[in-house]
Every structure is written in C-alpha cells, then in structure tokens.
Amino acid sequence: MHPRNAFRIPHPAFRIAFVIPRSQIVLISAIALAGVVSACSSRLDPYFALIISNIGINVILAVSLNLINGYTGQFSLGHAGFMAVGAYTAAAITMFGAPKFTPSLMQGAGVHVLFPIALVGGGLAAALAGVLVGAPSLRLKGDYLAIVTLGFGEIIRVLFRNVDSLGGALGLNGIPAYTNLFWVYAFAALTVYVVVSMVNSTYGRGFLAVHDDEIAAEAMGINTTRYKITAFVVGAFFAGVAGGLYGHSILTIAPTGFDFMRSIEIVVMVILGGMGNTTGVIIAAVLLTLLPEGLRMLAGVRVDLPFAAPFNNLKWIADTRMIIYSLLVIVLMLARPQGLFNWANRSATKPKI
C-alpha cells in the first residue's frame, strides 16, 4: 500500500458527526445557570429565596399537568394527589429509609446522592399511582374523568391522614432541608425539556391526535388509551418530584396541603397560560405564584388618597388578598378564556356557516 493512502480521509458517508441538538444545549445551559444561581442564593433573603423556589416548583407542576390537560386533551383534577404521593415518599426515604440503610449518605457529599434518589423515588411512586388510577379510568372522558381524578386525589389525602407512621393528620415534621434552587430549577428545566421533546417528537404527535379527535385517532390505529396512560404517568412522575422538592423546602407536610384547592390552583395556571402552550403555562405559573405575595407586600404600603381617608392605609388588603386574588383570576378567565398567552385567533377555530 502506498504510504499516501494510509491516512486517506474516509468518504463523507462514513464520517460520524457528533452534533448536540439545540434543545439539549439549552437544557445543559439551564442546569448550569441553576447551579450558578444556587451558589449565589445565600445572599438572598430567606423569604425571597422561598418564593423563587415555589415558582420553580409550580412551573414543574403546571408544565407536567399541561401534558395531560393541554396536549392530550384530558381533564385531570388529581395532580395534588400525585404531588402528595411524591412528597410523602421522598420524605420517608430521607427520614426513615436513609438512616436505617445508608446512614453515610446523610452527611457531607452523600446528601447530593441521597436527595436525587429520594426525588426519583417519589416520582416513581407517583407514576405508579398514575398507572393505578389511569388504567381503569382513562376510558372515561371529559367531566367523568375529572370526577374520577378528583376522587383519587381525595382518597390519597384521606389515606395519608389516617397513616400514623407518616404523621397522620398532623403530617410529617422535621424533614431535612435538602431543597435548594439548583435542584428546583434543574428539575424544572428537565420537566420542560421532556414535555416539549415528547410533544414535538414523532411519537408525541399521538398526544395531539388524541387531543384533536379521539375517535378519528382510534380509527387511524392510534392506541388512545396507551397515550393517555403515558401522559398520566409522565405528568404524575414530575408532580411527585415537585412534591419531594416542596416537602424538603418547607420542612413539614400535611394532608391538608394537598387538597382539592391545590389541584385547582395548578389547573388555573394551565388554563390561564393557554392549554397546550408551554411558554404561556410557565409565565402563568410565575405570575400566579407572585400575585398573592405581591398583594401581601402591598398591604404594608400607605397611599394618601383624597376623599378616601379610610383606604389610605392598605392593610385591609392583607385580610382580603385571597378574595382579590380570586376575583382577578375570574376576570382573567372571562376576558381571556383561551389563555393569557395564547394569541391564536379564537374566531379562526369557529366553523364557518
């Protein structure tokens, strides 16, 4: 062989190109940014750090529910139940399981191994609950499915209230403070990445087909029940992770924190953001998390209003802030039923006569 041929460049057809998709670059960048923000979080006031953490947790909950309600077209009211399963499972792993089986992981760098294991364990337990509730009930549609998922959420809450080993009605106290901004926003970025990648993939087009016309999708050979169960399992998994982050953030959990109203709050985030609009749902989760706290801060402001002396002191907002919050949500729902950030023309979807 001629020496010149020994180092011949292979034909372009045999070259291997290592190209990282843009979505993965965004995911890695978001996780790195979460690490930087978490490293600087010690300079933040604990109150503001908690609000920022709650924003990330609500983003996880809203985006995961958007896969079920928005992209797949189902109507679930049991997301708080999945969140409760994840919260109690993750807390049980860090409080009871780790001290007994892996005490070395509770100190130093071992925490960075234990906590993600607990979060994934909580997510898997919630995903299993999603299968258990999904398999027998997802042949239902519309209001009937909403009633079943609502019943599931209440059953989960009552079960935890009656399990004494998990604190009963008083809940679990003394949960380790493992949650920080890195874990919250790393999992928030991962949730957005998984949901967007699923929906935009070839397989994920089945979710949109089920949403648009379930009967037509079945006629085309799409297994609609499998797609609905998949949506429930993935959504429940990330709701369980959010529950684990929530429990290790506030350091105490109780069944009352995962009631029907908690599920409604998440549903409102999805509806106001725009069903099937991931960007809008994220923005709505941020705004609806900040709105009650903004009203709380506004209560400490004094404004001199002429001819309205009783209202100069805005402390009355502190007593009525949840009423104001509810009224604002109702007004937004009436004014923008398609969602605040869904700018599609509503008249374009109406049939022409």
Q: Which of 196, 349, 344 is closest to 282 using CA atoms?
A: 196
pLDDT of 105 reads: 79
What are the extents of the domains in the chain? 20-258
Q: What is the mean pLDDT of the chain?
A: 83
Percent of the chain scoring above 90 in pLDDT:
40
Q: Cα separations (Å) of 117 from 111, 186, 325?
A: 10, 15, 37
Provide the pLDDT for residue 166: 86
- Using CA atoms, how far residue 120 sits from 40, 79, 255, in Å, is 26, 17, 21
> Is the predicted pLDDT of residue 35 greater than 70, yes or no?
yes
pLDDT(5) > 60 = no
Q: How are beta strands 172-173 and 252-253 bridged, if at all? A: antiparallel
Across the strands, what pairs with 172?
253
Query: According to the model, what pLDDT value does residue 300 have?
Result: 60
pLDDT in tens, 93-140: 999 988 888 888 777 778 889 999 999 999 999 999 988 877 777 677
Hey, which residues does 302 pair with through a beta bridge? 313
Which pLDDT score, from 0 to 100, does residue 175 have?
A: 93
Residue of higher predicted confidence among 337 and 78: 78
What's the pLDDT at 16?
A: 46
**pLDDT tens for residues 331-350?**
877 877 777 776 554 433 33
Q: What pLDDT score does 334 carry?
A: 80
pLDDT digits (tens, 9 = 90+) for 143-178: 788 888 888 888 999 999 998 888 888 889 999 999
Q: 281 Cβ partners below 8 Å, 6+ apart?
A: 62, 63, 66, 70, 269, 270, 273, 274
Burial class (CB in 10 A: 0-12, 13-18, 19+), 75: middle
